[in-house]
Amino acid sequence: MLAALEESQQRIGKLELYIKSLEFNREDTQKRANEKLRERDTKLAEAQQTIARQREVLDFYANQEHWELPSFGRGQSMVTSDRGSKARELLEEGTAMPVTSNCPTCGNQHPINHPSRPGIYLCVPCDYVYEEGSDKA
């Protein structure tokens, strides 16, 4: 009877350790998920800002009033005097965005980021998994 009690206590101890490890893994997974969610929210906010800036520049060039010459007949329109500087500024803003590497197998320019391993990508067209900056799968 005593041996069965000791065995049950050992089993309870092991189960308690197992439960603690599950709780730790759950908390760790939740932390990583929250971090990923914050990253996605940041990227979404940045994309929304970029879209708003692009809309602003497109509205400038699309506005017919900006193409009209001054009423006194001399000078340039707002678009002509701008000489495309708003568009160039917008394009320069876009070059600062991070670009993921192309797939070394097929050259696909839109790989999928691995959800839990930064720097690891999946190329959907050729089903190739690779590390950023290397030719190794």
Q: Could you tell me the pTM of the whole model?
A: 0.47
pLDDT tens digits, one per residue of 31-53:
888 888 888 888 888 888 888 88
87, 99 in Cβ contact below 8 A? no
Q: What is the pLDDT of residue 137?
A: 45
pLDDT value of residue 75 = 78
At 113, which helix (H) or strand (E)? strand 112-113
3-state secondary structure of 128: strand
Q: What is the 3-state secondary structure (H, E, C) of 16-83?
A: HHHHHHHHHHHHHHHHHHHHHHHHHHHHHHHHHHHHHHHHHHHHHHHCHHHHCCCCCCCCCCHHHHHC
